Amino acid sequence: MNTPGCYGAASAFSHDSATCQGCPHFTPCAGLSLERLQAISGTINVTDLLKKHERAQAKARPERAQRHQSDETRDLRIVQRAAPIEPPQRKTQVEKVTFEINTETRQLIANITNKKAQAHALILCKGQDLQDLIDRFGAGENPMPASPKWLHQVGEELLAGKINRQNLKVNLAQQQQWGEATAGSHVSIAWSMFIGLGIAVEQEGSMLLSPRVGGHN
């Protein structure tokens, strides 16, 4: 370390000196000059110089404490800014409405042999009453839920008129961006579910809305 010739000199160092305060070695030089003063205090009276060091240290303590507190406050702010914001908790839980499935509808669902179609039918009829669903078809409305999208698409195609398996498979593959096998399996699910619930009937290999869906042309 390159230091000036006065470095650590007890007779030269002064806390009040502008020259010392501007020196980059101010802090270590103060410590070294204090040690040397303490070492010679037994033979030379340096009480006044030692008191200056004590006063300077006493003054520095609250300044250091203030800097430490400021650093802690700054670090806390940084942590708080970096911490993820927790979303507010809902005080009122939104209950999902489910319908009690009557005996007749349960029997219709039980008779569906395609297990995936049966599962979709159960979910559908828990979400809305089957007769209400049929009435909405009759009013020209697609009552199929927005999700899953493919089921809603089948509802739209039924409202548009008679559909056959091949056309439905092609349309599902295009709109849902599915492969041929996936689209084909969903055609089978839709076919079994809509016919099994009495929403649609099969006629000459095609599916169309059941006569019980009144009012829709």
123-173 pLDDT tens trace: 999 888 899 999 999 999 999 988 899 999 999 999 999 999 999 999 999
Phi-psi category of residue 125: left, alpha or beta, with phi > 0 → left and psi -120 to 50 → alpha: alpha
Model pTM above 0.75: no
Distance in angstroms (rounded) separating the CA atoms of residues 69 and 58:
17
Give yes or no for residue 36 having a pLDDT over 80.
no
CA dist 69 → 27, 57, 63, 79 (Å):
21, 18, 10, 15
Phi-psi category of residue 198: left, alpha or beta, with phi > 0 → left and psi -120 to 50 → alpha: left
Containing H/E element for 208? Answer: strand 206-209
Give yes or no for residue 184 having a pLDDT over 70.
yes
Distance in angstroms (rounded) separating the CA atoms of residues 69 and 52:
26
Give yes or no for residue 80 having a pLDDT over 80.
no
Mean pLDDT of the region 189-210: 94
pLDDT (tens digit per residue) in 91-127: 545 445 556 889 999 999 999 999 999 999 999 998 8
Phi-psi category of residue 161: left, alpha or beta, with phi > 0 → left and psi -120 to 50 → alpha: left
Least-confidence region, from 14-28, 78-92, 139-153: 78-92
Quickly state the pLDDT bin for 17 (edges 50, 70, 90): confident
3-state secondary structure at position 206: strand
